């Protein structure tokens, strides 16, 4: 019977002479350093995304409404935007079946301020209605170029 190692496969010393010595893995200290570096990079990336996504963000919310008469409603709302941005908001007056009975687009221009808290401002706008409204809302807001 033949020995399979001697007939077809080269000896381990022949392989190391032909291809070089086998590579060693990273030391445990180097592995820990790579893991810590990867974690720091992931944390820095998360912070960068959080900050960059919050800059230039436009937010809006309803604050209140007043039904002035059968043909008028007033909507109070808050808009948070960068100081130099111009935004437009679509306001709706709704009846008791949630049908739109009045609509208006309001343009909100740049304003003065220097702190993060001053990015938010309160606004009030009057809408003419076709029928008596029961509520007023801010449907949407967008930035204007």
Which class would CATH give 59-144? mainly beta
Domain residue spans in the chain?
25-55, 59-144
Query: Residue 12 — left, alpha, or beta (φ > 0 → left; ψ -120 to 50 → alpha)?
Result: alpha
pLDDT tens-place values along the chain, 145 residues long: 555 555 566 666 677 778 877 778 888 999 999 999 999 999 999 988 877 766 668 899 999 999 999 999 999 999 999 888 999 999 999 999 999 999 999 999 998 888 888 889 999 999 999 999 999 999 999 999 8
- Residues 104-134, buried b or exposed e (16+ Cβ, 10 A)? bebebeeeeeeeeeebeeebebbbebeeebe
């Amino acid at each position: 019977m033949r020995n399979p190692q001697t007939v077809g496969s080269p000896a381990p010393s022949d392989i190391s002479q032909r291809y070089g010595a086998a590579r060693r893995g990273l030391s445990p200290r180097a592995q820990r350093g790579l893991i810590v570096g990867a974690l720091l990079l992931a944390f820095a990336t998360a912070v960068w995304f959080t900050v960059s996504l919050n800059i230039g963000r436009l937010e809006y919310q309803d604050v209140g409404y007043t039904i002035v008469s059968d043909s008028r409603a007033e909507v109070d709302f808050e808009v948070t935007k960068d100081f130099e941005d111009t935004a437009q908001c679509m306001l709706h007056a709704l009846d008791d079946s949630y049908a739109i009975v009045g609509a208006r687009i309001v343009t909100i221009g740049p304003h003065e301020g220097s702190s993060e808290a001053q990015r938010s401002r309160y606004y009030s706008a009057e809408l003419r209605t076709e029928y008596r409204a029961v509520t007023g809302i801010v449907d949407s807001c967008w930035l204007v170029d």
